[in-house]
Amino acid sequence: MLIESAHVEDGPMFTLANDLRLACQRIARRVRFESTSAVAPHQFSVLVRLNRLGPQTPTQLAAHDRVSAPSMTRTVNCLAEEGLVKRSPHPDDGRQVLVSNTERGAAVVRETIAHRDTWMLEHLDGMAPDQLALLRQAADLLLEVSEA
C-alpha cells in the first residue's frame, strides 16, 4: 500500500522519498568527490569490502558491486598494478584466486575514510545541539533503510 501511494507524484510520501533520495545522493557525491582519494570511487568500494570482509574472489566482489566479472577483473588488475591488492590461490578451489588488500591498500582505506569524516565534521561544526540530535536520529533511520 505504501508503494502504491509513492507512485502518486504529488503526494507527501512521494515528496519525502524524492527529497531523501536527492539529499542522500548529493551528500554521497560531495563526500566522495570533495575528499581526496588515491583511487577512483569504484576501486575504493572494492578496497573497503576487502578491508571489512577479508579476502574475496573476483566473482564475490563483482556480485557485491553489481558489475560484470570482466569489469571487476579490470578493477582488480588496476588495484594490483598499483600495489593496493594482492592475489593468492584459493585454498579450496585451484581455479580461483582470492583478492586481499595489501598494507598500502588498507592505508588508502584508512586515509580516505579519515578525509571523508573530516569533510563531514567540518559541515556539522556549528550546528545546534537539537540539530545534531535530529541528524543522529536521521542517520540511524537511514542506516536502517539502507540495510533493508
The domains located in the chain, with CATH, are: 1-34 (no CATH), 38-147 (1.10.10.10)
Residue 98 backbone phi and psi in degrees, to 5: -110, 140
8 Å CB contact between 46 and 75: yes
Tens-digit pLDDT profile for residues 67-79: 999 999 999 999 9
Model confidence at 7, in pLDDT bands (50, 70, 90)?
A: low
Portion of the chain with pLDDT greater than 90, in percent: 68
- Burial string for 105-126 (b: 16+ CB within 10 Å, else e) reads beebbeebeeebeeeeeeeeee
8 Å CB contact between 51 and 101: yes
pLDDT mean across residues, the chain: 89
pLDDT of residue 35: 64
Tens-digit pLDDT profile for residues 77-107: 999 999 999 999 988 888 899 999 999 999 9
State the amino acid at position 140 in one-letter form. Answer: D
Distance CA 111, CA 119 (A): 12
Helix (H, G, I), strand (E, B) or coil at 103: helix
Could you tell me where the DSSP H helices lie in the chain?
Answer: 2-6, 12-34, 41-53, 58-65, 69-81, 103-124, 129-147
Cell of 108: 588508502
Mean pLDDT, rounded, for 130-134: 96
Read off the pTM. Answer: 0.78
